[in-house]
Amino acid sequence: MKKLFLLLFTWSFLASSSCSSSSVFTVRRDESPHPPGFTVDRRRGIFLLDGHPFRYVSGSVHYFRVRPELWRDRLRKLRAAGFNAVQTYVEWSRHQPAESDAFVRVEDEVVRFVRTAGEEGLLVILRPGPFIDAERDLGGMPWWLLAGKTQPPVRLRSSDPRFLAAVDRWLALLYGKLRPLMRHNGGPIIMVQVENEYGSYGCDLEYLSHLRDLALRHLGRRTFLFSTDGHAVKQVRCGRVPGVYSTVDFGASDNVTQVSRPH
């Protein structure tokens, strides 16, 4: 993906700049009298962390691109640079290399990375796909999805029951392990992405709605879900999901003022 993913640009990002500077970097749970959680106050155009106005400033550290013994070092550098959140993809193919229920390295890598980020004072924005792009083969989806001999072939990133069955097995396991780390459970994960730039690929609302419902079922109804798409009207319309917060990304040469206008 050649685009510059500048933090996570949302319709309310500019409005959220009205938050006081003290709200930008506050992530401690023990100082808040409100229940833990992350949401958006649409009337005021701001995010709320544990009930308080909040603005996150995030950068990307992909756990599968950094040796585990260096995670803490990289996360500390991110924090020292002024960021208060880290976003990471989750690469399905890495954790289910064969068509079986033998999932590998989920606890040792995904869960451990999220815990480490929390220990370093960073919130986490999780981007589990199932398609992540990230310049990975098949967008991070496992090769064996294409290896079946059934006809017609499995339709990837769609409501094809064969694809959804594989996605359900993977995400149910992943979400089950991450549920205790959601912000509403006292953990560092504040947001979870539904798919990734899907409006640039297809327009299957049944598929996106299935992913939304799967996340809410396994992570909890208070999970803050978001989608990310290019800023073209068709991309936003086809990637948008009812009940999911819509965001856009853009390239280095795009006019941000025009990009931020709601479609």
Q: What is the pLDDT of residues 129-176, one digit of tens each?
A: 999 999 999 999 999 999 877 789 999 999 999 999 999 999 999 999
Q: What is the CATH number of the domain that holds 94?
A: 3.20.20.80
Amino acid at 115: R
Residue with the two structure tokens 């994960």:
189
- Can you tell me the distance from the alpha carbon of 50 to that of 65, in angstroms, rounded to the nearest whole number? 31
What confidence category does residue 26 fall into, taking pLDDT thresholds of 50, 70 and 90? very low
Q: Is residue 185 part of a domain?
A: yes
DSSP string, 45-107: TEEEETTEEE---EEE--GGGS-GGGHHHHHHHHHHTT--EEEEE--HHHH--SSSS---SII
Q: Is residue 208 part of a domain?
A: yes
- CA distances from residue 76 to 119, 120, 204, 223 in whole angstroms, order as listed: 10, 6, 40, 26
Q: What is the pLDDT of residue 259?
A: 64
pLDDT above 70 as % of the chain = 86
Helices H / strands E in the chain, number of each: 9, 9
Which stretches of 17-70 are DSSP H helices? Answer: 21-24
Q: Is residue 68 part of a domain?
A: yes
Q: Is residue 8 part of a domain?
A: no
Query: How many residues does the structure list for the chain?
Result: 263
- Considering its fold, how many domains does the chain have in total? 1
Q: Is residue 186 part of a domain?
A: yes
Q: Which phi and psi angles does 49 have, rounded to 5°?
A: -110, 115
Nearest alpha-carbon partner for 14 in 262, 232, 241, 196: 262
Q: What is the pLDDT of residue 177?
A: 98
pTM of the complete model? 0.88
Joined tokens for residue 188: 């560092």
Q: What is the pLDDT of residue 258?
A: 72
Pick 9 or 40 by higher pLDDT: 40
Q: Would you say residue 102 has pLDDT above 90?
A: no
pLDDT tens string 174-226: 999 999 999 999 999 999 999 999 999 999 999 999 999 999 999 999 999 99
> Which range of residues forms the domain containing residue 172?
59-251
Q: Is residue 204 part of a domain?
A: yes
Q: Is residue 15 part of a domain?
A: no
What is the residue-averaged pLDDT of the chain?
88
- Can you tell me the distance from the alpha carbon of 58 to that of 122, in angstroms, rounded to the nearest whole number? 9
